[in-house]
Amino acid sequence: MRSEHTARRGRPTASAVLVLGVLVVVAVLLAGCGVLPVPTRSPASPDTGSSAPSAPSASTAPSSVAPTPADGRPLEPVPAVVPPGVTDPPAGSGPARYTGQRLDWQPCSQRAECASVSAPLDWSAPDGRALTLVVGRIRATASPRLGTLFINPGGPGGSGLSLLGGFPTQGLEHYDVASWDPRGVGRSTPVRCSGGADLDRLFSLDVSPDDDAEASVLNTAARDLGRSCLAGSGALLEHISTADTVRDLDLLRGLVGDERLHYLGFSYGTQIGAQYADTFPARTGPMVLDGAVDLDDASKVSQIQGFERALGHFATWCADQRCGLGDDRAAVLDTVKRLLTRLDASPLPGSGDRVLTQQLGLSGVLTPLYDGTSGWPRLAEALGQAVRGQGAGLLALADRGNERDRDGSYGSIATAFPAIRCLDSQATSVADADRKARALVSAAPVLGPFSGPDVFCPLWPVAPAPEARNLHRVGDRPVLVVGTTGDPATPYEYAVAMARRLDSAVLLTNEGEGHTGYGSSACVQRVVQAYLNEGRVPASGARCTAG
């Protein structure tokens, strides 16, 4: 989900999104279990003038004795490290020390201005340590001004400032359009974990182990990532849940002077929106949830099945275009499966001294599916190169999905994604992860065998946050849920389920391909803008047709 796509179409891209396998499958995966995608860093995103994150301050002795494992996770002591961005709170006492802040807006790009906001590290202890949130906005250019429209790209771990940098504001001129880097992300106080070469090794791992030895390597990598995040982030790692972000969003709503939240959330951003509405129904105004996630992981359709369905649509197109990968849909899919199988034992040469492993190959296949039909030609070209023995094309696509720059550095989503997701997740059992992975093999016969068990959350070193259950309240205004029929990362069935679950929600069906609808469908844009600007709610069963 690189920024080039975000800027061009104004939709969340494909960064870290699934959750099947390692994070790609650590970072190109997302949502079915509450993990989602998102746009990546953008050259056009606001520059707050901050430098690259520095290393955390030296750790002192652990803050407590080793905790007793809860819910089956191998919990570890929280070190007394104070990472950069965690500070003393503002003057005052209680929540008032935060709600009384004034935003000092300063230009941070050609389009946007930015401000820094303090928020409690722990919302249940507002007199304790604070962290920093960076928020950006593009000012309204038309009267009357309707308020501030907050947008969120998803992830979890997506940078709202990157999304804002390329977001199309045409049709929304009556709003200040704003976004923020959530806690743990980007220019706000970020999670700090292993980086660079360590992430290269992580994203190259075999996430579908064939024997106990490979499973042990995967489990060790999962533990090592969690430990590195705990060592670098300290107590921050316990306070980056969606519930924390919802409280932050309500703080931002109040600081911009709005009585009610105006909101447009994509992918995992739909979870933030739904949880906000359920927590603060009286403060919820117009809300659009595009690319709905599976709120309670109860859907009968898994995320990998959504990707497999989208891959099937690509395969039909590819065969019709005589792309060289097979004469019909089945043959193209067989080519993809045989290629991924071969990569397990025989990685392909990539670029420089890097090679295309099975996991990177899977990431390279999944990433362009976020882009819908516009991503199909590039996927066909990269697959053709790989079949001929050259992996550079798929490796470049994997790097885009994993937010890896040419210098070997990674965007913050690579580590914020698992850190936030695993705090929200109630997963506690590696055995249960193995069972679910086996079920995917039959549910998605092309991609399922390569997805592997999601062992990161069961092996995460901090206890999960309290589960957000039975979300349904939305206040006294209808919520607009947008679902795209060919969405790979958040299958259409999730939008149907969310619209049924939330009180007074209305579903808009977008017939098309790719992740989310607002940035790719002029029809969806018209309906969403009429809802936000004029309060016009589409009729039940409303559809935007392709073409």
Alpha helices, H only, 155-267: 160-166, 197-204, 212-233, 242-255
Selected catalytic residue, list 181, 290, 454, 487: 487
Please state, in angstroms and rounded to a whole number, the distance separating the CA atoms of residues 174 and 179.
16
Task: Return the closest-CA partner of residue 286 out of 37, 38, 26, 531.
Answer: 531
Selected catalytic residue, list 239, 262, 313, 515: 515
Secondary structure (H, E, C), 258-283: CCCEEEEEECHHHHHHHHHHHHCHHH
CA 210 to chain centre: 29
List all residues 6 or more positions away from 547 whose beta carbon is below 8 Å from its beta carbon.
none
200, with CB counted inside 10 A (0-12, 13-18, 19+), is middle
Task: Return the closest-CA partner of residue 280 out of 319, 252, 312, 301.
Answer: 252
Secondary structure (H, E, C), 352-401: CCCEECHHHHHHHHHHHHHHHHHHHHHHHHHHHHHHCCCCHHHHHHHHHH
User: Residue 517: what residue type?
Assistant: G
Please state, in angstroms and rounded to a whole number, the distance separating the CA atoms of residues 502 and 472.
4
List all residues 6 or more positions away from 481 whose beta carbon is below 8 Å from its beta carbon.
270, 289, 290, 292, 495, 498, 499, 502, 505, 506, 507, 508
Integer CA distances (angstroms), 488 to 28, 123, 306, 398, 466, in order: 11, 35, 4, 16, 29
Inter-residue contact 133 to 119 (CB < 8 Å): yes
SS3 495: helix
List all residues 6 or more positions away from 278 whose beta carbon is below 8 Å from its beta carbon.
468, 471, 472, 473, 474
Confirm whether 267 is a catalytic residue. Answer: yes
User: Residue 391: what residue type?
Assistant: G
Selected catalytic residue, list 109, 159, 233, 267: 267
236, with CB counted inside 10 A (0-12, 13-18, 19+), is buried
Integer CA distances (angstroms), 381 to 311, 384, 506, in order: 15, 5, 39
Confirm whether 244 is a catalytic residue. Answer: no
Confirm whether 250 is a catalytic residue. Answer: no
Q: What residues are annotated to the active site?
A: 267, 487, 515
